[in-house]
Amino acid sequence: MGHYQSIMQIHSRYVALGAALVVSAVGIAKGFQGEVAASAAEAKPIKTGVMAPDATLKALDGKETKLKSVLGGKPTVLIFYRGGWCPFCNAHLSELAKIEGDIRAKGYQIVAISPDTPAELSKTMDKDHVTYRLYSDSPAEAIKKFGIAFRVDDDTFTMYRDRYKIDLERSSGMTHHILPVPSVFVVDKSGKIIFSHSNPDYKVRLKGEEILKALN
């Protein structure tokens, strides 16, 4: 009897250890998904072949919605940009506006996300003549889940604010100083990412013709 009890105790310990390892592995996976890199170069964008993660966003009217609802089961060109204060972002958004008809002709919609508040998004739409949808991710929830979040260091934040009059806290309404690595993700109707492009050099953007080629 004593031998049987010893065997059962050992078995119980192995079961408990296995459960602990599973819980730990799940926790690690979630942790990686929500990482904020120390620099743009250290960000780790999620790969093609995985499902686009869901996240809470805000529309122009300030109402919350889910990224899954925004995608709506439609093939989507999903853009992440730094903000309406960034001239390179504005140029890219304007270029996309010019080829929106071509993108729609291929069966895709365009959705763009940034840390800007809804009020800032409205300014961007007027300035860049954008007709596709822009969404606010001020808390950086989607940005983190897509693996493209990085934190602006204090010196850069101060330089932006004092030298260039760019106040990241005012633009986002947050004090986290998180920005996305400018990225393009193509999502199919099932929600799977089938193409991705991210470049830590914010001056380099995927050209319109390259996006159209990716949709083929």
pLDDT digits (tens, 9 = 90+) for 147-199: 999 999 999 999 999 999 999 999 999 999 999 999 999 999 999 999 999 99
| Nearest of 37, 12, 54 to residue 150 by alpha carbon | 37
pLDDT digits (tens, 9 = 90+) for 110-135: 999 999 999 999 999 888 789 999 99
Q: Supply 109's token pair.
A: 């919609």
- Reduced to 3 states, what is the DSSP secondary structure of residue 45? coil
pLDDT digits (tens, 9 = 90+) for 28-47: 334 345 789 999 999 999 99
pLDDT at 86: 97
Write down the pTM of the prediction. 0.84
pLDDT at 34: 73
Note whether 42 and 105 are within 8 A (CB).
no
Note whether 143 and 149 are within 8 A (CB).
yes
**90 CB contacts (<8 Å, ≥6 apart)?**
84, 124, 127, 128
Q: Supply 82's token pair.
A: 């730094």
Rounded to whole angstroms, the Cα distance separating 97 from 117 reads 21
Burial of 75 by CB count in 10 Å (0-12 exposed, 13-18 middle, 19+ buried)? middle
